[in-house]
Structure 1
Amino acid sequence: MDVLTRRRFLVASGVVGASALAGGAAAYRLNDLLATAGDRDPQARTLVLVTLYGGNDGLNTVVPHADPAYRNARPDLAYSAEEVLRLDDGTGLNPALGGLHRAYGAGRLAVVRGVGYPKPDRSHFRSMDIWHTAQPDRPGTTGWLGRWLDRAGADPRLAVSFEPALPPLLAGERGAGASVPVTEREGPPRLAAETLTALAAVAPDDSPARARAAACFADLGAVDAMVRQVRATPAGEDAEDDGETASATATGGARASLDAQLDLVARCVEAGVVTRVFSVSLGGFDTHADEKQLQEVLLGQLDGALSRFTDRMSRTEAGRKVVVAVYSEFGRRARANASDGTDHGTASNVLLLGAPVDGGLYGEPPSLTDLDDGDLKFTTDFRDVYATLLERVLDTDAGAVLGGWRGRLADAL
């Protein structure tokens, strides 16, 4: 999603005003964060919130492969017991989540199933408003982490987004978090086009090894050209209207890769900056058609980025106090559609990852036979997850932030 469309979505959603978003986004750069190095309590934990924009299909992420209703509902999309990465006799992870599967085996991944809220809404915008504000009945004007920020002193550097615009979840009554651009991160040097073309050329007397190498460089050149073409495409071109005000969250998330965002998070954690909350994102999960392959690609990106990040975090004391929470605005419907995809649904999974996490399966898996008009019925209120993160990671009174909410996740942190 381009920055303009993303910002238009945030402001148009009505969750926060333009002034609150601009206030957090206007003045901060990476150096402003690094200037606070050493200013935080070394015993304090850090929360990294990963938003999967578009509505990730929870049933093909945490797969109930032993349930016959799963295959009956989506025969061409379903994974078999042999394909998934086993968690227990009835449940497995998507084959693309090898790194997270290893984390589960090491006791560092908690899978919270059936997470949702009462009277669910299938609109990307309305549902994301609800997740951001933690107010299912009527989303207010502040985000749940913005309200935490108000109580923590309202310094924008305490809650930082590496997305192109500040998400409403970081907006409070007295202030907002900081939106820090990822453009300061330098990428690896690129080969000149002429050099790449020369390396890709094949001569008649080339050895088989040289010919294979040339083919690889030809592929690299083709991919590079494709990426440049995509980047040059005007924002909004080829977009499809699905009947909503805008299609922002369908392909939303930060423009920079999740790897690049998490690299900056890691640098900040290792430097001991004052920031307690980081918000990052990955988009593209609105899989109405040809879902299986596309979701595997996206989950592979998520898995690779999280695995590299958590491995890096495991090497330092500060890193071992980091908790990552992964969520999406909703799951997908149980039954596949006619286009080998799934449509907007309700309950899904939340993943908690890191050294402080007590790994395992949490929450009851939603029934695939007792549905609400084709949708999964939630079994865990998302405010239980938020309350646990507020108390066990951010050391604050969850009730004061969540309007007196009393639910918690037992033993996950």
Structure 2
Amino acid sequence: MSYRNEQSRRAFLSLCLKGGCSVAALTSLQLQAISGSLSSQPINDYKALVCIFLHGGSDSLNMLVPLTGEHRTYYEQSRQNLVVSDALALNTSTIYEGGVGLHPSMASLSSIFDAGTLGFVGGVGTLITPTTLSEYQNKTVPLPNHLFSHNDQQATWMHGQEKVSLNTGWGARMLERLNQHSSFTSNISLAGANPWQAGIETTPYALNKSGIMKINALTGYQPQVDHVKSIMDRLLSAKTTPLQDAYASRLANSVNNVQNMNTLLEQAPILTTQFSDNSLSEQLAAVAKSLSISGQTGNKRQIFFVSLGGFDTHDDQAVRQPALLSTLATALTEFNNALTELSLQNSVTTFTMSDFGRTLSSNGDGTDHGWASNQLIMGGAVNGQDLHGAMLSQQVGNSIDVGGGRLIPQYSNEQYFAPIAKWFGLNDTEISDIFPNLGNFDATILNLFK
């Protein structure tokens, strides 16, 4: 083998190892987290979760706005130059004083909402225990670490709890508790590595937006499959050290997974649903394609992760936010159409997460890092056509404003996650284990599913 190819081979190995292979021994705590906790109940139906992460902290308080009366007056006073003047009235099952209006850039979602397969969750955010303004000010209750910090709050949403030594995401933990993590196709990301899908025994399989993956990590040439196979055969036959064997085995599995997934995707049906060329639509198109072969993969449970960035709207929000919300609504509408075409609408639930909400007050050109937010959830099993939770008063200086228009959540993100986990198939004990702060709240108050 030439020096160039030897160097390329080493680079290929390095890339594969950086992709998630770890041979470090599990701690006893990690082993305890798995042993004895796997569900012994057979699963006969199929369900999938699709998490859409809105990176940057979506100004979701401007996604849902009051329409009339005193609440509208407060909203206009707080939002100033960012006021949404032509919001679309939502006929919510729960009646809220002043009504609920949807940002006009999300008009395509109105029909899905009216059909009862789309709902919203209002006033939700990271909390450890119910918190009042006075408790926040006097620090008499535990508070989430590093509030208003992008990286930390993203991690808290995806871990489902404050970051601890056992760093796993609640999506992966659900798969492992249900013993549905053995297949690499059960845990798929269209947006790279992320904490939500990181488990002890599972890591996300990274799928390209185009669906078909290529093995092209070797530099200098595009290797054929048989060439890659010959490299791995040599690695696997070199019984030098347990570490080398583990790495070589992981490499072989990675290439086999790519080949197997490509074979299945090449056989996927061609959907008549058309997807737009924006990034989120392309990701959800790939999810839809993966869902179309769920019968061939044999999975009973799957989780998918996609993302849309750009929501850190400190400036130019009046232009940027409508474009972002339009992209989100368009992608969701197209995905809903694809699920209907595949007859999977009742088996797939799609939901959003984001770093945090944003401030009520305009900084002159945008908004700054806030706390409470609104999220959306879509699917045939969803208790739609409603705003669950709270329609927060958008009055600066109100009884839940910790300063600068940052509102204390009235519902914890764990309360939001709990009904999703229950729909996915976990029992109450398993849900409490996965979300350790849930016992501080009413775990059943958000009736998100039919």
TM-score norm. by structure 1 comes to: 0.69
What are the within-5 Å matches in structure 2 for residues 270-349 of structure 1?
Answer: 270-272=292-294, 273=297, 274=299, 276-338=302-364, 340-349=365-374
User: Structure 1: which amino acid aligns with 2:185?
Assistant: R
What stretches of structure 1 of length at least 5 have no aligned partner? 1-17, 25-39, 187-254
Secondary structure of the residue that 1:314 maps to in structure 2? helix
Residues 286-308 of structure 1 deviation map (CA, whole Å, 9 limit, x = unaligned): 10011022110011111111101
| Distance change >3 Å, CA 84–CA 290, structure 1 → 2 | farther
Matched with 1:76 is 81
| Distance change >3 Å, CA 42–CA 270, structure 1 → 2 | farther
User: Structure 2: which amino acid aligns with 1:266?
Assistant: A
Alpha-carbon distance in structure 2 between the residues aligned to 1:84 and 1:78: 14
What are the within-5 Å matches in structure 2 for residues 51-70 of structure 1?
Answer: 51-66=53-68, 67=71, 68-70=73-75
Offset of residue 57 of structure 1: 0.1
Contact preservation (8 Å) 2:211, 2:286: no
What stretches of structure 2 of length at least 5 have no aligned partner? 1-15, 23-41, 93-97, 128-142, 214-276
**Residue 282 of structure 2 corresponds to residue 257 of structure 1:** no
Contact preservation (8 Å) 1:385, 1:409: no
User: Structure 1: which amino acid aligns with 2:448?
Assistant: A
Alpha-carbon distance in structure 1 between the residues aligned to 2:211 and 2:402: 47
Percentage of identical aligned residues: 29
**Residue 72 of structure 2 corresponds to residue 46 of structure 1:** no
| Distance change >3 Å, CA 329–CA 20, structure 1 → 2 | farther
User: Structure 2: which amino acid aligns with 1:388?
Assistant: P
Q: Which of these residues, 414, 419, 433, is aligned with residue 400 of structure 1?
A: 433
Residues 53-94 of structure 1 deviation map (CA, whole Å, 9 limit, x = unaligned): 0100011111124312111111110113x4434345521111
Offset of residue 42 of structure 1: 6.9
Larger Rg: 2
Matched with 1:238 is none
Matched with 1:411 is 447
Secondary structure of the residue that 2:50 maps to in structure 1? strand
Alpha-carbon distance in structure 2 between the residues aligned to 1:171 and 1:290: 35
Alpha-carbon distance in structure 1 between the residues aligned to 2:165 and 2:91: 36
Matched with 2:402 is 372
Alpha-carbon distance in structure 1 between the residues aligned to 2:165 and 2:319: 35
What are the within-5 Å matches in structure 2 for residues 12-411 of structure 1?
Answer: 22-23=20-21, 43-66=45-68, 67=71, 68-80=73-85, 82-87=86-91, 89-118=98-127, 119-120=143-144, 121-136=147-162, 140-153=166-179, 154-155=181-182, 156-163=184-191, 165-184=192-211, 257-272=279-294, 273=297, 274=299, 276-338=302-364, 340-359=365-384, 360-368=386-394, 369-370=398-399, 371-374=401-404, 375-395=406-426, 397-403=430-436, 405-406=438-439, 407-411=443-447
Residues 256-293 of structure 1 deviation map (CA, whole Å, 9 limit, x = unaligned): 81111111111122222425111111111110011022
User: Structure 2: which amino acid aligns with 1:109?
Assistant: L
Alpha-carbon distance in structure 1 between the residues aligned to 2:75 and 2:164: 33
Offset of residue 97 of structure 1: 0.7
Alignment size in residue pairs: 310
Alpha-carbon distance in structure 2 between the residues aligned to 1:83 and 1:410: 25
Alpha-carbon distance in structure 2 between the residues aligned to 1:146 and 1:258: 22
Offset of residue 326 of structure 1: 1.2
Contact preservation (8 Å) 1:85, 1:101: no
Secondary structure of the residue that 1:182 maps to in structure 2? coil
Residues 341-400 of structure 1 deviation map (CA, whole Å, 9 limit, x = unaligned): 000111101111111111111112223322111311101111011111111124453123
Alpha-carbon distance in structure 2 between the residues aligned to 1:23 and 1:109: 38
| Distance change >3 Å, CA 383–CA 20, structure 1 → 2 | farther
**Segment drifting more, 42-51 vs 393-402:** 393-402
Residues 83-134 of structure 1 deviation map (CA, whole Å, 9 limit, x = unaligned): 4343455211110111222211111111100011223511110100111111
Alpha-carbon distance in structure 2 between the residues aligned to 1:367 and 1:100: 24
Moved over 4 A (4+): 18-21, 137-140, 183-186
Secondary structure of the residue that 1:97 maps to in structure 2? helix
TM-score norm. by structure 2 comes to: 0.64
